[in-house]
Amino acid sequence: MTTISLPRLRERIETLARFGALPGGGVTRSCWSPPHEEARAWLVEQMREAGLEPWVDPAGNVFGGLGMSGFDAARPAVVTGSHIDTVPEGGILDGALGVLAGLEALHTIHESGTAHARPLAVAAWSDEEGRYGSLFGSRAFIGKLDPAQVPSMAAADGERLVDAMARAGFEASRAPEAAAPAGSVAAYVELHIEQGPRLEEAGIPIGTVEAIVGVRRSWVVFVGQADHAGTTPMERRRDGFLAAAEYALKARELVVKRGSGRSVTNFGVVHVHPGVGNIVPARGELLHEMREPDPAVLDKLFRECATLARRVARRRQVQVEIRPISATTPAPCAPRVQAAIDAAAAELGLATQHMYSAAGHDAQNLAAVTDAGMIFIPSKGGRSHRVDEMSDWDAIERGANVLVRSLLALAG
Binding site for ligand GLV (CB under 6 A): 129, 359-360
- Which of Mn ion, ligand GLV, none does 220 bind, CB closer than 5 to 8 A by kind? none
User: Cβ closer to ligand GLV: 58 or 197?
Assistant: 197
User: Cβ closer to ligand GLV: 193 or 282?
Assistant: 193
Least distance between ligand GLV and beta carbon 37 (Å) = 20
Least distance between ligand GLV and beta carbon 128 (Å) = 7
Least distance between Mn ion and beta carbon 238 (Å) = 38
Q: 174: Cβ–Cβ under 8 A, 6 or more apart, which residues?
A: 58
CA distance 87 to 156: 13
User: Cβ closer to Mn ion: 71 or 125?
Assistant: 125
Least distance between ligand GLV and beta carbon 359 (Å) = 3
Whether residue 376 contacts residue 197, with contact meaning beta carbons closer than 8 Å, is answered with no
Q: What does the chain come to in residues?
A: 412
CA distance 208 to 248: 34
User: Cβ closer to ligand GLV: 94 or 104?
Assistant: 94
- Which of Mn ion, ligand GLV, none does 360 bind, CB closer than 5 to 8 A by kind? ligand GLV
User: Cβ closer to ligand GLV: 153 or 359?
Assistant: 359
Instruction: Look at residues 384, 394, 381, 380 and name the one whose alpha carbon lies nearest to residue 361.
Output: 384
Interacting residue ranges for Mn ion, rule: CB under 5 A: 94-95
Whether residue 202 contacts residue 378, with contact meaning beta carbons closer than 8 Å, is answered with no
CA distance 308 to 325: 19
- Which of ligand GLV, Mn ion, none does 373 bind, CB closer than 5 to 8 A by kind? none
User: Cβ closer to ligand GLV: 209 or 408?
Assistant: 209
- Which of Mn ion, ligand GLV, none does 85 bind, CB closer than 5 to 8 A by kind? none
